Amino acid sequence: MRPVAVLRSSGIPTNGDFLFYPVIWMQGCFLIYNFACAQKSLLTNRKCRAGRPLKQYMLNEYEIERCRYILDFNLERFWLRMAALITFAVITLLQWLIVAGISVFAALALDIVIAWVVSFYYQGLRHATPNGGNTKHVRISVTAFVVMLSALWFILIGAWQLAQLKKGGAFNKPLFAAWLSVCAATPVLILSIRYWRCHYRLRRQYRNYVRMHLHIYHDNDLPIVPARVSFVNTVNGRSVNLDLKDLQYEYYSQEELMTLGLSGRLHRERHMLFGSPVYIPMHTDTLYLSWYSPVDGRYYSDAFPFPFEKFMLTPDTLAGAAGMGYARRLAGIDLDIGFDGHVNLYSGNVMLFYYRKVAHVALPQEQQDAYEDKLRQQLLPGYPAAAFTSLINEIRTSERLLRKRRIQEKRFLWKITLTGLGHLRHSVTITDVNCNCFDRSVTALATPVHWFLPQRLRLFKRVDEDHYFYLTILLNYHELYDVAMSLTAGDEAVPLHLSMNVIDAAGQEMECSIHAAGQSVCFGEWQLLTTN
């Protein structure tokens, strides 16, 4: 037996094998690195104990969508992986032909050329501009070149060993077995690790956090600068601080509002400052709010009890197959920040809780000026600071906020009779001056109720089997409040009767009158909206 054969049977590298063993070592290091990254989150989570903040384990929207993309089956990704497998087989066959027909050094030279071409096109596509140019002067990517060359040389190991077997040369079984096992195990192990990591991260996300839609509103005459909105579970320390960078600041002067119709004025009296789906800790029990109000001249900051158990939890259908049965969705929540630090919490268009006597903190004058300057740049861009100060002073002296507060806190004993629409089989949705929504039948509307004044009525009317429409009746609640106060003298025990006779819904014709204490007033501050 020849000595070279003894060396090969023992697995000792000879005759150029040393060129390929470092490539296998690199592949092994790559697998070990992926496995270590996969274990990192699990090992870190095991070290955590109850009471420590765990907010760093909450995924953002991009990470959640990425995990869903990996876990959900996608036919396009399947065919892309099949194309990669076919490409691998074709490259192996091509290199086998070159090694068997010419030499291994010819295959090495060809791999260098292919890696250079691929890195050239990779650099061009990565830094391409719409006009066909390139933002980089360097025409090749060294990283792409090294990665591609390593992959090609790794494929060359198997092709070279197969060529040795065909030509009857020295065939290194341990080397070929290692190459074949890496080729088979690497994609399976990498995909398994990715699936396991995404499954574990999503399961932890859905078990510890719940998704909901949060909206933050404020009055048109009460511009504010929110500083902090946090949901905290004080039992286990999990907390979520909302990102308050992209806010929707708006303000309309009284001159602008007077040029609009009634629907436009009512819509712009209440601004949505923030509106987005967010994730909050499961069983949140505390809500932290901080904001600066230039009209009040105060910085409010306080912690409010958050009764998580009183909200409805439903399965999150948007989680899809990746939800794994753990995803839950909380009913949407609206926070209405009012004058003098009042905060109302709504869910399902119904006020569930309200917070009063919010604590305020004294701020240095420099910080107050910074908040006001930020708000001025959003509401009055390009105007000097004196214009913003004049605007705030006008809002303070007008006392419009105090008047609106009196309207929102005053109850009346009122009923509504609605005629002219024939028989209505569906209930009427009523929205009061505090934005509470509730449904009542037409018969129940004729029964007096001790509640806040209505500002919107919405109903559904079916004309026949093929025709129907939605009718919305808008009332100017400012004028309605003045009429009600004059007729009842502010006495909540005096019945107030609102009579509405719709003459032509399509033509927006209606007669409205208010009766109380033997007196009657024709009310003309209304608007009809009809949609099909």
Count of positions (residues) in the chain: 532
In the chain, what are the domain boundaries?
23-37+56-205, 210-398, 410-531
Closest CA to 410 of 513, 494, 296, 474: 494
- Lowest mean pLDDT, pick from 41-45, 167-171, 265-269: 41-45
Asked whether residue 54 carries a pLDDT value surpassing 50, the answer given is: no
What are 488's two structure tokens? 């009842």
CA-based R_g, the chain, Å: 35
The answer to whether the beta carbons of residues 443 and 403 sit under 8 Å apart is: no
Q: Please indicate whether residue 3 or residue 35 has the higher confidence score (pLDDT).
A: 35
Closest CA to 157 of 177, 136, 140, 143: 177
* DSSP 8-state code for residue 44: H
- Lowest mean pLDDT, pick from 36-40, 337-341, 465-469: 36-40
Asked whether residue 6 carries a pLDDT value surpassing 50, the answer given is: no
Q: Please indicate whether residue 189 or residue 480 has the higher confidence score (pLDDT).
A: 480
| Residue 17 banded pLDDT, cuts 50, 70, 90 | very low
Whole-angstrom distance, CA of residue 431 vs CA of residue 458: 9
* DSSP 8-state code for residue 134: B
Could you give the 3-state DSSP secondary structure of residue 30?
helix
| Residue 319 banded pLDDT, cuts 50, 70, 90 | low
Burial class (CB in 10 A: 0-12, 13-18, 19+), 338: buried
Q: Which residues contact 296 (CB under 8 A, 6 or more apart)?
A: 339, 340, 341
Asked whether residue 95 carries a pLDDT value surpassing 70, the answer given is: yes
With both helix axes pointing from N to C terminus, report the angle between 385-398 and 365-379 in degrees, rounded to the nearest 10.
Answer: 90
The answer to whether the beta carbons of residues 457 and 429 sit under 8 Å apart is: yes
